[in-house]
């Protein structure tokens, strides 16, 4: 997961440098007024998203498999905890019922 995130940040950084260079040399128009920095960041985000989607497909699939495994492990742990709690509650209710019947 960390590897995918770092690769995604690398693609964004590359796009940011490329867009900054294009704006600096006048190939791409500057933003309105003092919005030039925001314009460069937004344009870099828009360009890097589809590049990351296509170029990092395999890494994204690996990261999602890791997340799915973690979620499945957590669900199994929660189910085991619930089962333990249910057994403890049932045992306690059984003891109370036994005491009520003997009284």
Mean of all residue pLDDT scores within the chain: 87
User: Side-chain half-sphere of 31: how many Cα atoms within 13 Å?
Assistant: 13
pLDDT band at 103 (very low <50, low <70, confident <90, very high): low
Which residues are within 8 A (CB) of 10 and not within 5 positions of it... i.e. 6 or more apart? none
Spatial separation of the C-alpha atoms in residues 78 and 49, rounded to whole Å: 36
Mean pLDDT score, 21-29: 88
15, burial (CB in 10 Å: exposed 0-12, middle 13-18, buried 19+) = buried
pLDDT at 72: 94
- Residues 29 and 35: their CA atoms lie apart, in Å, by 12
């Amino acid at each position: 997961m960390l590897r995918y995130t770092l690769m995604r940040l690398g693609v964004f950084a590359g796009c940011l440098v490329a867009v900054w260079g294009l704006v600096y040399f006048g190939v791409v128009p500057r933003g309105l007024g003092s919005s030039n920095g925001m314009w460069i960041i937004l344009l870099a985000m828009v360009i890097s998203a589809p590049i990351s989607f296509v170029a990092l497909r395999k890494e994204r699939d690996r990261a999602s498999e890791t997340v799915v495994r973690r979620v499945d492990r957590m669900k199994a742990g929660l189910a085991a905890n619930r089962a333990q709690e249910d057994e403890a509650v049932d045992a306690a209710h059984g003891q109370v019922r036994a005491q009520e019947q003997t009284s």
